Structure 1
Amino acid sequence: MNKNNRLYFGWYIVVAASVIVLLTTGMRMGIGPFVNPIMDDLGLSRTEFSLIVSAGMIVYGLGMLLAGILLKFYNTRFVLLVGLAIVCISIVWTVNSKGMLSFLLSYGVFLSIGLSFLSSISLSPIISKWFVRQRGKALFYLTTGGMAGIAVMTPVETWLIDLIGWQNTLLLFGGIFILLVLPSAIFIMREDVPDEADGMGHASGEISREEPAITFKNALMTKAYWQIVFGLFACGFGMNLLGSHGMPMLMDHHFPPMTASFGVGMIGVVAIIGTLFLAQLADRFPRKNLLFIIYFVRGLGFFALVLSANAYQLFLISFIGGLVWAGSVAMSTAILSDLYGVRLLGMLNGFAYFVGHQIGAAIGSFMGGWGFEVFGTHFISFGAAGVLAILASFASITLPKSLSFSKHGDVSSVSFRNTRGF
């Protein structure tokens, strides 16, 4: 709180952004309850439906990149309102779809673009502007919204579909998006950040808000940026492999379906607690050290998960894995803003998420099925996820603590100062 004992306005932005991300992630990742009803109504095969979901995953990443570009020329309010309009139009189109092509365009393409405009990629830059000392904590809270979306929205969607059908469920969520996103965009997403505040009501001190003289092209030429992209690739590969093939893998390893479901579900539930815990550490220790721990423990977890032999081992592994499941995106975003500033954060984050996370997600989802069909074992795909995560941990720990740029945007030096907040 500030000296007037009033809550710092940036926290209102964090709360609103977290709720928006909860809805967006839940809509994007909570497709499971919609699968059978939509296939039955539209006459789609599982392969056709899977292709539409995969296409939506790629379009979602492209939409994030587009959102980042728009943020460079417009503000957060504009991007959110455009995204809201696309989501509402796409939902109405989706519920009136009559075949594969119509559903592909409405749900797979346009709804994915609209949801990407309402994702953390659009909201993390404004949070990074409002926070310096507590930037890591604020971004972790944003991530908590995403984890809550995965944990909460799936059972809610299941209940609503049974009660009112999948079309009315989508329309209901469209109305909820309007009620929450519209006032948040108009009244809360303010860009006029006070110079002296950092979320604690104190001067920012040695942590400067001055933006480095860097262009998007020159940022792409730095090694540090691609280290972060590689980490996000490992993140997307592993998360979507587990989401798509975690339960089938455990059931193939003779776990009962309910046990497998609880084992995978526990990761998402514990991840909510994990993000709240890691949020308290995000600004007290070097961010790259935390990112190293997150990826390293996650990598070991993939090996342990595919080798688990009984329910006790499964639940213990899921609990430990859940503690570090959601921190990589928040820390990567915080490091990007620390190294390159917030002016280009939307573009840099969007491009990194598409090239890294979403491409990794598509490959991981494919490799989970292909690896088992070709080699007869899940160890190939889950072992690859473990190796990638461990490699990402070493890519993270070798990140520089800061970069210096010339007035032309070229990297002039790499500093290893013990800068507080990074």
Structure 2
Amino acid sequence: MGARQTLGVFLIAVTEELGSGRESYSLAVAILSLLMGLPVGGYLADRFDPRRVLLGSAVIYGIAMVGVARLNSAAGLLLFLGLLGGIGFSGVSLALVMGAVGRLVPVERRSSVLGVITAGASVGMFLTVPVAQVGLDAIGWRWSFGVIAISAALIATLAFLFPGRRSEGARSEDTIDEPFVETLRRARRNRSYLLLVSGFFVCGFHVSFIAIHLPAFLTDAGLSGRVASIALAMIGLFNILGSPLFGRLGDSYRKRTLLSVLYGIRGLLMIALLLAPINPATAIVFGAAMGVVWLGTVPLTSATVAHLLGARYLTTMFGVVFFSHQVGAFLGVWLGGRVFDATGSYVPIWLIAIGLAAAAVIVHLPIQDQRKAILASPAVAGGKT
């Protein structure tokens, strides 16, 4: 997770050296984001040993980063950063980890535990973004991508510390024994699940646009790359607090209400960024404030999926929701580069992001996020005696 958040640090350096507009780099990262959202990794983890999925994916991602480091033209960005990078990330994504862990914990503690997992991803963001900026300044972007490749190989060796397939004795109480096809049918008929899917699209648009384009936005405004990277790192640092906080709140309060509040705060923060003068203080304060609500959506959303559909196929069904997130990520990253190349400004995309935040506030309010929703399907209820 942390390695992907560093990609925004390299946007200007890579595009300037390869002689391309920002759209080419943005499109490659957008393809990576879209592919990493495919629920294939989650399905394989549900069916087989998730440790092997994590190991193989980390190796593929490392190979992709080596390819990026050796590029001589922007054309190769789509192949190495976009295609191979996306395939590699699809098996080490947060969706896979959240689903695998979420099946093992009790219902009453699920939001809290998933909040801690999400915070762990932000530790990587907080640590790697400043290191990426230092590497860029000291050894250039090519060697920095090589370091990322080596890091991916080292992380791959940790895959076997991850829990293997869930044993029959390690079932959460809302695990429903039914074929996967029936779970999928229930999901298609569940209005709340579909609303959750659409709402998570907005989350993906927000976090990916900001992660990739905020450093360039701040640099264009006259700030140094160091300050821009600190602002991005502040998002990771304060999300270490924010995700567990909202995960804990999700164990006690309605998740749909918390989700609406989160998206509303995001929108207000983006409005404030556009209206305030851009200087180091406002950039860092924005990063810190955005960090509090950065990925608080993830434990709330994944726990709601389990409430709605049960935990048996949580990795796959949250993977479907996560794919919607990554479709939003694709558009946020790509349109950020495309609109900038066309207009010389990021303001139009900020305005779109603000409008989407308002829509997300409304979309989450009708969601039925209480535990009884699992038994709402006649197919499941009929199986109870």
TM-score (norm 2): 0.81
Indicate conservation of the 8 Å contact 1:339/1:403, yes or no. Answer: yes
Q: Is the 8 A contact 1:271 1:324 kept in 2?
A: yes
* Aligned counterpart for 1:181 among listed residues 143, 156, 160: 156
Sort the Cα spacing of 1:141 and 1:197 in 2 relative to 1 into closer, same or farther, 3 A.
same
Residues 1:156 and 2:131 are matched in the alignment = yes
Alignment of 1:190-339 (within 5 A): 190-193=164-167, 195=169, 208-211=174-177, 214-246=182-214, 256=223, 261=228, 266-309=234-277, 318-339=287-308
Q: Which amino acid aligns with 2:241?
A: I
Matches of 1:396 and 1:180 in 2, distance apart? 36
Contact 1:79 1:122 in 2 (8 A): no
CA contact (8 A) 2:42 2:95 kept: yes
CA distance in 1, matches of 2:187, 2:102: 18
Q: Distance in 1 between matches of 2:29 and 2:153?
A: 24
RMSD: 3.6
Cα distance change, pair 331–211 in 1 and its aligned pair in 2 (3 A): farther
Instruction: Classify the secondary structure of the residue corresponding to 2:374.
Output: strand
Alignment length, in residue pairs?
374
1:105 matched to 2:105? The reply is no
- Structure 2 Cα separation of the partners of residues 366 and 179 of structure 1: 30
Which amino acid is the alignment partner of residue 110 of structure 1? Answer: L
Cα distance 1:75–1:393, how it changes in 2: closer, same or farther (>3 A)? farther
Partner of 2:3: 27
Tell me which residue corresponds to 1:123. Answer: 97
Q: 2:374 corresponds to which residue?
A: 403
Q: Which residue of 2 aligns with 1:83?
A: 57
Give, in angstroms, the shift of residue 108 of structure 1: 1.7
Q: Which residue of 2 aligns with 1:144?
A: 119
SS in 2 for 1:30: helix
Bigger-Rg structure (1/2): 1
Q: Larger deviation: 310-319 or 218-227?
A: 310-319
- Tell me if 1:48 matches 2:24: yes
CA displacement, residues 252-279 of structure 1 (integer Å, 9 cap, x when unaligned): 7x67557973655544432222224334
- Equivalent-residue separation in structure 2 for 1:45 and 1:359 (angstroms): 22
* Overall identity of the aligned pairs, in %: 25
Mind listing any 5+ residue stretches in structure 2 that lack a counterpart? none
One-letter code aligned to 2:255? R
Q: Which moved more, 1:372-381 or 1:232-241?
A: 372-381
Match of 2:325 in 1: 357
Distance 1:289 1:32, change over 3 A: closer
- 1:352-403: CA deviation from partner (whole Å, max 9, x where unpaired): 222x222222333455566678899866533332232233233223211123
Q: Distance in 1 between matches of 2:148 and 2:225?
A: 28
Inter-partner Cα distance in structure 2 for 1:241 and 1:178: 27
| Distance in 2, Cα, partners of 1:367 & 1:88 | 27
- In the TM superposition, 1:378-417 aligns within 5 A as 380-400=348-368, 401=370, 402-406=373-377, 408=379
Report the AA paired with residue 342 of structure 1: A
Normalising by structure 1, we get a TM-score of 0.74
Counterpart code for 1:122:
L
Please report how far the alpha carbon of residue 332 of structure 1 lies from its aligned counterpart in structure 2 after TM superposition. 0.7
Query: What is the one-letter code of the residue matched to 1:331?
Result: L
Q: Distance in 2 between matches of 1:179 and 1:259?
A: 27
- Give how far 1:284 is off: 2.7
User: Distance between the aligned counterparts of 2:216 and 2:249, measured in 1?
Assistant: 35
How far the C-alpha of 1:98 sits from its partner, in A, is: 4.8
Q: Distance in 1 between matches of 2:52 and 2:9?
A: 32
Q: How does 1:68-79 map to 2 (within 5 A)?
A: 68-79=42-53
Between stretches 304-313 and 393-402, larger displacement belongs to 304-313
What is the CA-CA distance between 1:74 and the residue it aligns to? 1.9
Displacement after TM superposition at 1:334 (Å):
1.3
Q: Which moved more, 1:27-36 or 1:137-146?
A: 27-36
8 Å contact 2:218–2:278 — kept in the other structure?
no
2-structure distance, mates of 1:179, 1:348: 30
Instruction: Supply the distance in 2 between the matched residues of 1:249 and 1:85 (Cα, whole angstroms).
Output: 32
Counterpart CA distance in 2 for 1:313 and 1:95 is 34
**Structure 2 letter corresponding to 1:51:** L
SS in 2 for 1:136: helix
More moved, 155-164 vs 332-341: 155-164
For 2:379 and 2:277, the matched residues in 1 are separated by: 57
The Cα shift of 1:232 comes to 1.0
Instruction: State the distance in 2 between where 1:220 and 1:56 align.
Output: 27
